Structure 1
Amino acid sequence: MTTIKCTSGQYRSRFRLIGLVLLVGLLTACGSDTSNGPILIKFPHVTAPGTPKGLAADRFKTLVEERMPGVVAVEVYPSGQLMNDDDSIDALAFGEVQMIAVSLSKLDRLTKKYQIFDLPFLFADLAAAERFQSGPAREELLGAVLDSGMRGVGFWHNGMKQFGGPVAIDSPEAAEGLKFRIMESDVLQAQIMQMGGNPQKMAFGEVYQALQT
Structure 2
Amino acid sequence: MKPSPFTRLAVALGILLSVGLAAGAARAAPIVVKFSHVVAEKTPKGQGALKFKELAEAALPGKVEVQVFPNSQLFGDGKEMEALLLGDVQIIAPSLSKFDRYTKKLQIFDLPFMFDDMDAVDRFQSSPAGQALLDSMKTKGIKGLAYWHNGLKQLSTNKDKLTRPEDVKGLKFRIQASDVLEAQFRQLGANPQKLAFSEVYQALQTGVVDGQENTWSNIYSQKIHEVQKTIAVTNHGAIDYMVIANAAWWDSLPDDVRAGLQKAMAGATAYANKLAADINDRDRQRIADAGEAKIQELSKRDVAAWREAVRPVWSKFQDQIGEDLIAKARASNGD
TM-score (structure 1 length as normaliser): 0.81
Q: Distance in 2 between matches of 1:163 and 1:83?
A: 27
For residues 128-207 of structure 1, the aligned pairs below 5 Å read 128-167=120-159, 168-207=161-200
Q: Distance in 2 between matches of 1:132 and 1:208?
A: 32
Secondary structure in 1 aligned to 2:192?
strand
Question: Match of 1:81?
Answer: 73
Equivalent residues, number: 180
CA contact (8 A) 1:176 1:196 kept: yes
Residue in structure 2 matching 1:93, options 85, 92, 95 = 85
Moved over 6 A (4+): none
CA contact (8 A) 2:135 2:143 kept: yes
For residues 25-104 of structure 1, the aligned pairs below 5 Å read 35-104=27-96
CA contact (8 A) 1:45 1:78 kept: yes
Question: What percent identity do the matched residue pairs reach?
Answer: 54
CA deviation map 1:40-81 (0-9, x unaligned): 100011111111111000000000001110011100011111
Q: Distance in 2 between matches of 1:51 and 1:61?
A: 16
CA contact (8 A) 2:78 2:196 kept: no
Secondary structure in 2 aligned to 1:65?
helix
CA contact (8 A) 1:86 1:106 kept: no
> Which range moves more in the overlay, 71-80 or 107-116?
107-116
Structure 1, unaligned runs of 5 or more: 1-33
Q: Distance in 2 between matches of 1:201 and 1:95?
A: 26
Code of the aligned partner of 2:98: K
Code of the aligned partner of 2:117: D
Q: Distance in 2 between matches of 1:98 and 1:194?
A: 38
Between Structure 1 and Structure 2, which shows a larger proportion of helix residues? Answer: 2
Q: Distance in 2 between matches of 1:179 and 1:171?
A: 16
Code of the aligned partner of 2:81: I
CA deviation map 1:6-40 (0-9, x unaligned): xxxxxxxxxxxxxxxxxxxxxxxxxxxx6150111
Secondary structure in 1 aligned to 2:93?
strand
Code of the aligned partner of 2:135: G
Secondary structure in 2 aligned to 1:132?
helix
Structure 2, unaligned runs of 5 or more: 1-25, 207-335
TM-score (structure 2 length as normaliser): 0.52
Q: Distance in 1 between matches of 2:204 and 2:87?
A: 36
Code of the aligned partner of 2:65: A
Bigger Rg, which one: 2
Quote how far apart the aligned CAs of 1:212 are: 2.1
Secondary structure in 2 aligned to 1:58?
helix
Q: Distance in 1 between matches of 2:187 and 2:84?
A: 35
